[in-house]
Amino acid sequence: MAIVAFHFSGVYKDKLLSGKKTASVMPGTHLYEVGSQVLVYLSDTPNLFDKGAKETRIGEATIVTCRQCKLKDLMKEEAMNCGYLSSEELIREMKIWYPLMKNVDDVTYVRFSLKSVEITNN
């Protein structure tokens, strides 16, 4: 059995720990089974992709929802679950994180329930 993990940039720390971020959008098509458990990690730098970034495990989450769609089809509620005020704001951010992303590209929206928050250094 594979261990699935979500890795988040340090810019999301407060939103994750406060419960304001309960979802994520990732490029491409990913299949997560509702009810599965995933480990959640947080980078110590604003950009998860920074060379030499260290990560801390902050807990486990349960997958609540998983849906595939086009970037342009993300809804306001989904953006708010990701910690944004609107789908337009989320789409702008996605294009910053992934500069080659277009509105017609496939994305996967995953909502999760973060539980057993702990700080475990790796």
pTM metric for this prediction: 0.87
Does the residue 76 lie in any domain? Answer: no
Q: Name the domain count of the chain.
A: 1
- What is the residue-averaged pLDDT of the chain? 89
Model confidence pLDDT, tens digit, residues 46-70: 776 677 778 889 999 999 999 999 9
Domain around 15: 5-70+106-121
Beta strands in the chain (DSSP E): 5-8, 23-27, 37-43, 55-70, 106-115, 120-121
Model confidence pLDDT, tens digit, residues 82-113: 999 999 999 999 999 899 999 999 999 999 99
Strand partners, 39: 5, 60
Does the residue 88 lie in any domain? Answer: no
What CATH number is given to the structural domain containing 59?
A: 2.30.130.30
Q: Provide CB contacts within 8 A for 44, sequence distance 6+.
A: 10, 53, 54, 55, 56
d(CA 69, CA 121): 35
